[in-house]
């Protein structure tokens, strides 16, 4: 038994609720595009045929026949639909109005031609055209087909009672065929829409993953097939290392240890986003972040300083909450770096240069819950932050180097985030 309604899938993860309205709107839009083409085409054809009929009949000197009346009515409808303001605002209502009138004129022409040539092809053409080009959810078209078939068959039965069931059987066959064709067309459109939406969903998930792994500008470049390495004149680099994590790893199960690390670095990620700092990577229990690349940033040194103070306080709070003896050791340096994405597999955005090494070595020489900064950073922060001179610190590969300890801000005013 043929079900009249074109049913949409039940809402599920594979077919979210918002897809239903999108699919219905897409069917209406595609239907209206086809209606626009049909309207313009029929206007040209009917005007040409009407002029031809007028020429053959010498200006309708012998009167106007039923076919001419039909052509004039079609022209009036097409012109009003094409050029006059629609009395409705809903595109769906406008489409359904056109389909109803289209079936009315198809039945009318068949009724006229049936008495002249015995031909019912215009009804079948109109019905199959609607079924193939304008499938709609629900049972609107199916009911339209059935009502038009009943109306046409009833009129022919009254006008030509001696003909018998020949025309009626043809009308019923065309009606059933139209319902079947519409269901196949609807299902094909639904499969195509679902497939396209699934591809778009996968693309969005891939983009989201890409933007989670890389800075936004780098991810956009990778999507465009570009992958460059750039020299940045000034970037502020921060390294943070969890003190006591190695000792803690001997007391906890691996899963517990990873939970602790995930909790700490998750908080660091939130703080980085709050302060406009770009996380680069984690290496074991070490955390690397920058400001000023790949896109130049205002107040980059101040942002990193505020971020460093925030992660120290966060680590203290977490240590007090969990009972684990955890602290963070931070090093900050500002200078030129080379940054970009290299390699052909397992890509990552990274930085290279002496400035990166300096920040890491300042961090390695620091004290728990202390923020070590280099001399260039000190000169950028000294007017807004409290800093303590550590004197000369022997850094590996660099020798004695003056460094400072960042204590805190002098005022509550922070740079614009």
Written as one string, the DSSP assignment of 109-158 is: HHHHHHHHT---HHHHHHHHHHHHH---SBTHHHHHHHHHHHHHHHHHHH
Confidence category of residue 334, pLDDT binned at 50, 70, 90: very high
Beta-strand pair 370-374/327-341: parallel
For residue 363, what are its two tokens? 């961090």
Distances (CA, A) of 345 to 327, 341, 362, 368: 35, 10, 31, 36
What number of residues does the chain have? Answer: 417
The per-residue pLDDT for 44 is: 93
> Which band of pLDDT confidence, cut at 50, 70 and 90, is reported for residue 88?
low
Domains of the chain and CATH, by start: 17-208 (no CATH), 222-409 (3.30.70.1230)
Question: What is the arithmetic mean of pLDDT over 119-138?
Answer: 91
Q: What is the pLDDT of residues 220-244, one digit of tens each?
A: 887 777 777 888 989 999 999 998 7
Alpha carbon distance 261, 402 (integer Å): 32
Report whether pLDDT(148) > 80. yes
**Are the CB atoms for 227 and 294 separated by under 8 Å?**
no
pLDDT tens, position by position, 281-333: 998 889 999 999 888 889 999 999 999 999 999 999 988 887 788 899 999 99
| pLDDT of 89 strictly over 80 | no
**How would residue 5 be classed by pLDDT, with cut points 50, 70 and 90?**
confident
Name, in order, each residue with C-beta under 8 angstroms of 388's C-beta and a sequence gap of 6 or more: 404, 405, 407
pLDDT for 321: 84
Whether residue 414 is predicted with pLDDT greater than 60 in this model: the reply is no
For residues 153-159, average pLDDT? 89
Q: What percent of the chain has pLDDT over 90?
A: 53
Spell 139-167 as b/e; 16+ CB within 10 A means b: bbbbebbbebbeebbeebeeeeeeeeeeb
Query: Of 198-212, 308-322, 360-374, which range is least confident?
Result: 198-212
Query: Is the pLDDT at 146 greater than 80, yes or no?
Result: yes
Q: For residue 115, what are the contacts with CB-CB under 8 A and spacing of at least 6?
A: 159, 160
CA distance 331 to 403: 10
Given a contact cutoff of 8 angstroms between Cβ atoms, the answer to whether 147 and 192 are in contact is no
Given a cut of 90, is residue 381 above it in pLDDT? yes
In this model, does residue 186 exceed pLDDT 90?
yes
What's the rounded mean pLDDT across residues 353-380? 93
For the chain, helix (H) and strand (E) counts, in that order, are 12, 8
Q: Is the pLDDT of residue 246 over 90?
A: no
Q: DSSP class of residue 12?
A: B
What pLDDT shows up at residue 167?
Answer: 87
CB atoms within 10 A of CB 229: 11
* pTM higher than 0.85: no
Strand 385-395 to 286-291 pairing: unpaired
**What confidence tier does 412 reach under pLDDT thresholds 50, 70, 90?**
low
User: What separation in angstroms does the CA of 32 have from each of 130, 178, 239?
Assistant: 12, 19, 60
The pLDDT assigned to 2 comes to 59
Distance CA 344, CA 346 (A): 7
pLDDT at position 413 over 60: no
- Other Cβ atoms less than 10 A from the Cβ of 359: the count is 30
Q: Are 27 and 6 in contact (CB under 8 A)?
A: no
Asked if residue 50 lies in contact with residue 71, where contact means CB atoms within 8 angstroms, the answer is: yes
Cα(294)–Cα(288) distance, rounded to whole angstroms?
Answer: 15
Comparing CA positions, the residue from 383, 381, 384, 403 lying closest to residue 393 is 403
In angstroms, the CA 329 to CA 308 distance is 10
DSSP annotation string for 228-296? -EEEEEEEEEEEEEEETHHHHHTTS-HHHHHHHHHHHHHHHHHHHHHHT-EEEEEETTEEEEEES-SS-
Among candidate residues 226, 225, 230, 221, the one with its CA nearest the CA of residue 340:
230
Contacts of 171 (CB under 8 A, 6+ apart): 120, 123, 149, 152, 153, 156
* Mean pLDDT of all residues in 98-126: 89
pLDDT surpassing 60 at residue 1? no
Rounded CA-CA distance 43/67 in Å is 16
Both ends of the chain: CA-CA distance in Å?
Answer: 65
What mean pLDDT, rounded, does the chain reach? 88
pLDDT at 415: 56
């Amino acid at each position: 038994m043929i079900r009249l309604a074109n049913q949409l899938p039940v809402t599920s993860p594979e077919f979210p609720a918002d897809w239903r309205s999108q699919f219905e709107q897409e069917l209406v839009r595609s239907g209206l595009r086809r209606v626009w083409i049909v309207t313009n085409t029929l206007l040209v054809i009917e005007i040409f045929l009407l002029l031809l009929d007028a020429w053959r009949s010498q200006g309708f000197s012998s009167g106007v026949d039923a076919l001419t009346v039909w052509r004039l009515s079609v022209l009036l409808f097409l012109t009003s639909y094409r050029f006059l303001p629609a009395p409705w605002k809903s595109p769906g209502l406008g489409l359904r109005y056109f389909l109803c009138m289209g079936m009315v004129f198809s039945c009318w022409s068949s009724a006229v031609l049936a008495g002249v040539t015995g031909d019912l092809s215009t009804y079948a053409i109109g019905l199959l055209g609607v079924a193939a080009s304008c499938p709609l959810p629900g049972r609107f078209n199916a009911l339209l087909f059935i009502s038009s078939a009943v109306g046409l068959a009833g009129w022919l039965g009254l006008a030509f009672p001696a003909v018998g069931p020949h025309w009626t059987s043809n009308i019923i066959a065309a009606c059933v065929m139209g319902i079947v064709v519409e269901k196949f067309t609807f299902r094909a459109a639904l499969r195509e829409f679902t497939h396209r939406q699934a591809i778009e969903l996968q693309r969005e998930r891939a983009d989201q993953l890409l933007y989670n792994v890389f800075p936004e500008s780098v991810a956009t470049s990778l999507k465009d097939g570009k992958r460059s390495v750039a020299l940045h004149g000034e970037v502020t680099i921060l390294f943070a290392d969890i003190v006591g994590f190695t000792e803690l790893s001997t007391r906890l199960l691996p899963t517990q240890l990873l939970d602790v690390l995930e909790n700490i670095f998750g908080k660091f990620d939130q703080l980085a986003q709050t302060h406009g700092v770009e996380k680069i990577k984690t290496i074991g229990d070490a955390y690397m972040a920058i400001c000023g690349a790949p896109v130049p940033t205002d107040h980059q040194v101040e942002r990193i300083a505020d971020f460093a103070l925030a992660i120290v306080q966060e680590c203290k709070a977490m240590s007090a909450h969990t009972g684990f003896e955890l602290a963070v050791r931070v090093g900050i340096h500002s200078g030129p770096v080379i940054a970009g994405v290299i390699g052909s597999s397992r890509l990552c955005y990274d930085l290279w240069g002496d400035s990166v090494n300096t920040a890491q070595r300042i961090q390695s020489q620091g004290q728990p819950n202390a923020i070590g900064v280099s001399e260039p950073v000190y000169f950028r922060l000294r007017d807004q932050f409290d800093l303590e001179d550590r004197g000369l610190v022997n850094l590996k590969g660099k020798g004695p180097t003056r460094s400072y300890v960042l204590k805190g801000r002098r005022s509550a005013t922070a740079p614009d985030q």
